[in-house]
Amino acid sequence: MAKFRRRTCIILALFILFIFSLMMGLKMLRPNTATFGAPFGLDLLPELHQRTIHLGKSFDFRKSDRINSETNTKNLKSVEITMKPSKAPELNLEELPPLNNYLHVFYYSWYGNPQFDGKYIHWNHPVLEHWDPRIAKNYPQGRHNPPDDIGSSFYPELGSYSSRDPSVIETHMRQMRSASIGVLALSWYPPDVNDENGEPTDNLVPTILDKAHKYNLKVTFHIEPYSNRDDQNMYQNIKYIIDKYGNHPAFYRYKTKTGNALPMFYVYDSYITKPEKWANLLTTSGSRSIRNSPYDGLFIALLVEEKHKYDILQSGFDGIYTYFATNGFTYGSSHQNWASLKLFCDKYNLIFIPSVGPGYIDTSIRPWNTQNTRNRINGKYYEIALSAALQTHPSLISITSFNEWHEGTQIEKAVPKRTSNTVYLDYRPHKPGLYLELTRKWSEKYSKERTTYTLDHQLPVS
């Protein structure tokens, strides 16, 4: 009888473990039909709520919020262990995979450290307090304390680097090139303007362009929602970008069906500005129209809610992108909606650019946001997103992101690291370059599949 009870207990324990693992896996995958439940959802988005979701920016409460289904987060000794980054090998361009200019990746140059900037920038991101005081009171507040404690759930192979370090920029370009990415979409603020946790970065653009050109990469611009952005100052800023950087060989242009080669601009949080304002700039009859001028371009709007489709049409945008790497967070970021969005874009001659990501975890800066975590599942989440994007036969695909470490969407190399009170997630059992390798594989697949269907839109300049 005792033997039977023991066996029954073992079977029951295994069954409970299986059910628990299954539930955690399903939670992290987040099915397409997921809704936006409290306490976090569309309320985080500007206008929809008075906070912006963009950028992870805050203190990490890893002990309670790390999500134990990610790797290497439990039973840690109180010993500081840091894996030193390996030196990136020199790459022969002739030995690298062919570039895919239809594949874009969002790139951030806002990081800083004492060596190059006199202080840490962004790595010491503060905690973002929840807007509901009843929820906010349950979480500590503070800032991260680099270099061992940074505002990310992962730790970069390059450490808490500076975006001003030329060797870091070159390493980033080399990693993108090895992943068969052709274009980086650079997060951009106007000169002397910065995000609330950073410093101005426009003066880094020349170096980024030069380093990109060395690896035959192209650079397009991801216009951030700087203060008081409107049709008038957008015109001035587009003029500034084209006048200052438009003649650089790495400056990205996209060839239209009519043969015009136009710059492309992603416009983050475009829905904050009223369609009437955008129409002044982006329609031929607008009072400040940029159309058919030396500063004309292809302007890509962020689609969050389904109703934004018609605002985008009224505004005069040339296409849409979905940005968020969290499947189920917004209408636009939900894979199940991409086919209908592509049909809508085809109907109205818009460019559809689905955004794919390797996962999402921003609890280092939003400790209350565990419900939007998406487990990487050793690369499976990324491949599911890429497969969903390819099924729509898109003109372009964007990747969120190369190095948005705050929100855990990076494909940049990450390494295992743990200290006496912190453990970071990593890509084990795979190598630090796992997501670069997966990107390369899917980039090649995309290139091959893309040649099998007829494009309705623009072709990139070769």
Rounded Cα distance, 105 and 182, in Å: 8
Alpha carbon separation from 170 to 47, 89, 98, 137 (Å, rounded):
38, 12, 18, 43
Cis peptide before 39 (omega within 30 of 0): yes
- pLDDT above 90 covers what percent of the chain? 72
Ranges of each domain in the chain: 101-457
pLDDT of residue 158: 98
Q: Which two tokens stand for residue 126?
A: 């503060």
Separation in Å, CA 329 to CA 29, 40, 105, 141:
12, 9, 20, 25
Contact assessment for residue 91 and residue 171, using Cβ atoms and an 8 Å cutoff: no
In single-letter form, the type of residue at position 56 comes to: G
Under-70 pLDDT residues of the chain:
1-9, 12-91, 93-94, 454-462
**The architecture CATH gives domain 101-457:** Alpha-Beta Barrel (3.20)
**pLDDT for 453:** 79
Cα radius of gyration (the chain)? 22
pTM higher than 0.95, yes or no?
no
- 399 CB contacts (<8 Å, ≥6 apart)? 103, 104, 105, 106, 181, 355, 356, 357, 411, 439
pLDDT value at position 58?
33
In contact, 385 and 399? CB cutoff 8 Å: no
Residue 76: what pLDDT? 36
Q: Which two tokens stand for residue 226?
A: 């700087």
pLDDT for the residue numbered 95:
74
CB count within 10 Å of CB 238 equals 21
- Please give the pLDDT value at position 17: 65
Token pair belonging to 13: 């324990």
The pLDDT value given to residue 456: 44
Dihedral class, residue 350 (left if φ above 0, else alpha if ψ from -120 to 50, else beta): beta
